[in-house]
Chains A and B, each alone.
Chain A
Amino acid sequence: MLSKQRKSSQTSIEIRSPYLGQMRSGDSKRDTRLYQQGRIYKRLSLLITYVVLSIGAFIILLPFAWLISASLKTTTQYYASPIQWIPNPVVWSNYVEAFAVYGFARYVGNSVFLAVYAMVVNTLVSSLVAFGFARFRFPGRGVWFVLMLSTLMLPAQVLTIPLYVTFKTFGWIDTFLPIMVPQLFGSAFNVFLFRQFFMDLPRELDEAARIDGCSNLRIWWNIILPQSKPVIIVVAIFTFLSSWRDAWNPLIYLSSQSNRTIPLGLLYFTNGYTAVYPQMMAATVVALAVPVVLYAIGQRYIDRGVAIAEVR
């Protein structure tokens, strides 16, 4: 979608304008001069754009390049100064060590489990709720919707203390339950995205199905959902990423080492004596790679999702 978009508004105007159009034999000297100036101007601005963007991209990519190179060094090489960019020898075993010795495999497993669970459950429930908001009129609908949006403003961390105490009395601390249970109720952001999308879907299909005797639940499952693939993918990816990145909830609710997720694993990454940087960098690379892969898969839809969410 990004690279195949039609020409932007600026380009289409320029083609029609006498500044950059085809030169014809009747043109005066002034027209020719303006035409050439326009071309130079356009090339120059493109060049400047490239330069600025390249500098920016270089700055952004530099720490990541350093990270990858650091993850393949030995500890002594790590501290060398000036920085050696190409490690010699290349220590692939850092990755293996991070997984085996430092238990990172376990953390990845935990993170994956929680994230997939959140993705599936939250997406399903949020789409159900959004269906209610989008297609049904019920008393107080506006009020509930505004309330829901207002919850986006409140940092959920602020509410943790009573939840923590309650979960402690349930004995749920150090299990995954405090993190898993709230996902059963949907999240405001997802509901919002779904609702905006659903409102754009034509009602005729709904009504046809209803005449045929479809129950509401069937309508949701068989009619609305299949049409909503873009939004489902966006919501699923965002939910997965949001769970993957979450450091606050695991920090509060999970204490034992085997229950940690990736953010916690990185926080506590040590061999018990000192910090082992190269292996830690290897683990960091793994943690960072997953969102990249996910983005590559779902990227078209993410951009569309952003367009849906923006304020109309």
Chain B
Amino acid sequence: MLTASHSGAAGDRKRSRAGGPIRRFLHKEGVAGYLFVAPWIIGFILFYCYPLLDTIYNSFTEYKLFGEPQWIGLQNYQNLLHDSVFVQTCLHMVLYVSLATLIYIVGGMVLALLLNRTFPGNHFFRVVFYLPSLMVGVAIGSMFVQVFNAGDFGLLNEVIGIFHIATINWLNNYDQPIVGLYALILVTFWFMGGTMLIFLAGLKGISATYYEAARIDGAGAWQRFRYVTLPLLTPVILFNTIMTLIGHLQTFDVALIFAGGGSGSVGSITSVLGYRNSLSVFLTYLYQEAFIYHNYGYGSAIAIVIFLITLVLTGVVLLLFQRFTYYDR
């Protein structure tokens, strides 16, 4: 080592000055490692393990705002199964999560493929597509409430009007409340930028030699995509799918704003779940039960169910796609 020779004396001096037994102990590799990692471990125990265990316990109790939790066994879960609002929420989530994830993955991939070449303006397009995914959910939500506004002055209705389709009442539709959910799904088109960026990074990681070999063998563009790009992208697709799935199970901001009919009315009269519960998602339902009705026991049961669904879904996706994933090592 370059520095070893001239610092020998200095090192000896330092070590003899400050090399007490405590310091040596603290610098043993195992101890030092734990010391550095300790803040996170403490945080994990305080803010993860304890609340998780407590929530699990609470889900078996009857626990309202005032008073102590009282054990009632599985009754919360039974009520949950018969809760029509919850069942409706689950259906909403199935529809929303599957469609939104599909849009994200397919759309992100298409955009990444389009933007993979260098051409003038490439940079501009990347920024335009990526920027919305960085923005404040609530702000985007309130913006889109106006876009989806019923009546003639909502932006989307204006655009449809150009095609001579009748205006649609998106968020408070009396006949078909489910349209609110469609609005929510439409909004996901704006946020594809995140997955696009990750796919771009993945595309760059594919070595050019594969494409050369494919071209020499006479593969056309579609064949190159199907036999070179797609298989080599499968780890990235898997990662993206799982992250997107988890993210969508946790939608909250935009659903909340849409449900309130726009800013300024949350917390007053309108329900947090939307017109006739059409916009309920897992987290808004949890919020309503636990923090508006102060039904902590029931809310805890909902929370546990959400957690289990997330776990199961992630596990299923992982196992299903394990077989199809090629790892380029």
Minimal Cβ-Cβ distance residue in A for B239: A311
A-B contact count (CB 8 A): 323
Bound complex: CA A147 to CA B29 (Å) = 21
Instruction: State whether the Cβ of A292 lies closer than 8 Å to any Cβ in chain B.
Output: yes
Residues A161 and B118 in contact in the complex (CB < 8 Å), given A211-B11, A216-B36 = no
Q: Assess the A129–B134 pair: CB atoms within 8 A.
A: no
Residues of A contacting B262 in the complex (Cβ-Cβ under 8 angstroms): 275
Bound complex: CA A131 to CA B32 (Å) = 10
Minimal Cβ-Cβ distance residue in A for B41: A144
Instruction: State whether the Cβ of A262 lies closer than 8 Å to any Cβ in chain B.
Output: yes
Residues A158 and B33 in contact in the complex (CB < 8 Å), given A275-B263, A280-B142, A288-B136 = no
Q: Assess the A159–B52 pair: CB atoms within 8 A.
A: yes
Instruction: State whether the Cβ of B197 lies closer than 8 Å to any Cβ in chain A.
Output: yes
Residues of A contacting B140 in the complex (Cβ-Cβ under 8 angstroms): 288
Residues A8 and B116 in contact in the complex (CB < 8 Å), given A245-B136, A311-B236 = yes
From B18, B118, B197, B252, contact of A8 by CB (8 A): B118
Q: Assess the B46–A185 pair: CB atoms within 8 A.
A: yes
Q: Assess the B201–A10 pair: CB atoms within 8 A.
A: no
- Interface digits, A153-186 against B, CB 8 Å rule (1 contact, 0 not)? 1110111111111000000000000000010111
Instruction: State whether the Cβ of B227 lies closer than 8 Å to any Cβ in chain A.
Output: no
Residues of A contacting B290 in the complex (Cβ-Cβ under 8 angstroms): 160-161
Q: Assess the A263–B36 pair: CB atoms within 8 A.
A: no
Bound complex: CA A251 to CA B299 (Å) = 16
Q: Assess the A245–B144 pair: CB atoms within 8 A.
A: no
Taking A215-B27, A241-B134, A295-B127 as known contacts, 12 extra A-B pairs with beta carbons closer than 8 A to each other, sorted by chain A number, are: A17-B215, A46-B119, A60-B129, A64-B143, A154-B307, A158-B304, A182-B43, A212-B10, A216-B27, A244-B136, A252-B287, A288-B139
A to B CB contacts below 8 Å, 14 in the list:
A2-B126, A3-B122, A13-B212, A49-B114, A56-B125, A67-B143, A129-B37, A136-B30, A158-B55, A161-B296, A186-B43, A266-B138, A269-B263, A292-B134
The 10 A-B residue pairs whose C-beta atoms are closest, nearest first, are A185-B43, A132-B36, A136-B33, A9-B208, A138-B33, A162-B54, A213-B14, A270-B264, A159-B51, A81-B152
